[in-house]
Amino acid sequence: MIYLDYQATTPVAPEAANAMEPWIEERFANPHSPSRWGNEAEAAIEVARTRIEEAMGLKGGGIVFTGSATEALNWALKGTVEKARDGDRDGRNRIITVATEHAAVLDTCEWLAGQGIDLTVLPVGADGRLDLDLLARELDKRVLLVAVMQVNNEIGATQPISEIANMAHDAGALMLCDAVQAFGRVELCKGPDMVAVSAHKIHGPKGVGALWMRKGSEPAPFIHGGGQERGLRSGTLSPALCVGFGAAAKLADERTTRDYDHVQKLWKAAIQALGAGWTINGDIRHRYHGNLNIRREGLDGARLIADLRDIAFSLGSACASGSGRPSHVLKALGLDYRKSRSSIRLGFGRYTTQKELVDACHRIAAHAKSQEKLDA
Ligand code: PLP
């Protein structure tokens, strides 16, 4: 099996798995109970929290653990609206986001629109990037929140988050950044008031994410109950998941340059191995290079995936692949249904070897050519 689906999830780092192990069996205490065991579990969670915050490298705030980045994004959006409705933000009732955001943002924004929020979804150019002049024209006194992701999960294109945050702040609005695909891979952009991250995209476990919040920008509590996480997100934390996330974050922080250089080499090797006839979807320069989203005239991406069962790769995104719906991101780039269906996404990173990637690309290219012959 050659795993080339790093945007869907990443292999768990052995360091993260080892760190989690004792907290699954022997050290089972509730981290919020006052016993010595409970205190030890709580201390381990706090070490993990510090590791994640240090790896994020943002100043003036801290994280609250969540069950996923999807939860963090739902909370940031809904909780900010709720707080504003309590009179916190001068009656601001408008959210601006971008057509290429993840469903965790877009669907939540749509839901909020159903609750009376004035929603603006800005288009992107053919390169997948937001036109800042367009954003400037939309920013006014009614805007409560601007939500833009740093690295796109389907095409890897990056957005100028710090500039967007400055523009939002100048208009008196808050800025939320979905940094799920950026964290642990590239430096996080400074400026946003809230930043969502997920452990399983940085070689940590599934089922844990976090929302970083600047002091004073905390959304209203989303989950009510025992008052854990400063009363912002109730629920017993899992020491194993938090510790695994912390270990993965520490490792990512230590290996940033090494992992980044490895990905740059893999990108070049993959392009060379695929050969001619492919077009890269999205910006090439403003991009995370561990995401290679490509298309080929006449290719049936779904058939290619079904034929090459021992290579794990994806159509546009895991969600779009599962639903059979064409990707909303490729559509936003201006690709029609046919071009979207002829696109595939190869995602690679820390544990991908150049040899396996080159082998997979040779096979993908050969198979695509044989598809063309059969179809001709
Ligand atoms: N945002 C982006 C850009 C993602 O790629 C994903 C996961 O695919 C999410 C949000 C949701 O993360 P989680 O799986 O932690 O809910």
pLDDT score recorded for residue 316: 63
Predicted pLDDT at 87: 83
**Cβ atoms 113, 119 nearer than 8 A:** yes
Q: What is the pLDDT of residue 319?
A: 52
pLDDT at 143: 98
Q: Which residues of the chain have pLDDT under 50?
A: none
**What is the model's pLDDT at position 56?**
98
Strand order in the sheet with 291-295: 279-280, 291-295, 343-347
- pLDDT at site 323: 61
CA of 179 to the centre of ligand 1 (A): 9
Upper half-sphere CA count for residue 217 (Cβ side, 13 Å): 25
Q: Which of 109, 189, 242, 319 is catalytic?
A: 319
CB of 209 within 6 A of ligand 1: the answer is yes
pLDDT reported for residue 60: 98
- Of 50, 55, 42, the closest CA to residue 202 belongs to 55
pTM over 0.85? The answer is yes
Task: Name residues whose C-beta falls within 8 Å of residue 30's C-beta, 6 or more positions apart in sequence.
Answer: 38, 41, 236
**Closest ligand 1 atom to Cα of 8:** 8
Tell whether ligand 1 has an atom less than 6 A from the beta carbon of residue 149: yes
Q: Is 198 in the pocket of ligand 1 (CB under 6 A)?
A: yes
Task: Say if ligand 1 is within 6 A of residue 159 CB.
Answer: no
Tally the C-alpha atoms within 13 A of residue 156's C-alpha that lie toward its C-beta: 28
**From residue 234, how far is each of 64, 69, 258 by CA, in Å?**
10, 16, 37
Looking at ligand 1, which atom is closest to the CA of residue 151? 3
What's CA 51's distance to the chain center, in Å?
A: 19
Residue 158 per-residue DSSP state: B
Q: For residue 107, how far is its CA from the centre of ligand 1 (angstroms)?
A: 13
Q: Examine the residue annotation and report whether 177 is marked as an active-site residue of this protein.
A: no
